[in-house]
Amino acid sequence: MEIDFASVSDNYMALPEEEKTIVREGMSGPMGTIIGKIFGPEFMEAVGTFAAPSAPTPAPKQRTMAPTMPQQQPPVKPQGLAARPQR
C-alpha cells in the first residue's frame, strides 16, 4: 500500500481547526506512538507536518551595560568645629 502524502496533507489542511487539534493531540500522545510502531518512522516523519504551529519566539530583551565606574561625586568637604555633634 502506498500513501500519497500530498493528498493526505491537502485533506488535513481542509479540516476545521477543531479537528486539526484532535489530530495533533492524538499524534503527540500514546496513540501517535502506537501508530508510529505500526506504520514506521517514514510515516511518522510525514505526519510530523501535522504538528501544531509553534508560537512565535519572543524577541530577547535588550540588555544594557551597567556603568563600569561609580558616578563621580564631588569630594566631601571637611566640616568645621561647629558641625560636631553636641554631647
pLDDT at site 85: 63
List, run by run, the mean pLDDT of 10-residue segments along the chain (87 residues): 81 90 86 87 77 63 64 66 62
In this predicted structure, what is the pLDDT of residue 29? 85
Region of 44 (left: φ > 0; alpha: ψ -120 to 50; beta: rest) is: alpha
Grid cell 486539526 is found at 20
pTM: predicted TM-score of the whole model, two decimal places: 0.50
Domain boundaries of the chain, sorted by first residue: 1-7+17-49
> What per-residue confidence (pLDDT) applies to 79?
67
- Which triple of cell numbers denotes residue 4? 500519497
User: Could you identify the residue written with the cell 499524534?
Assistant: 27
Residue for grid cell 571637611: 78
The pLDDT of residue 23: 87
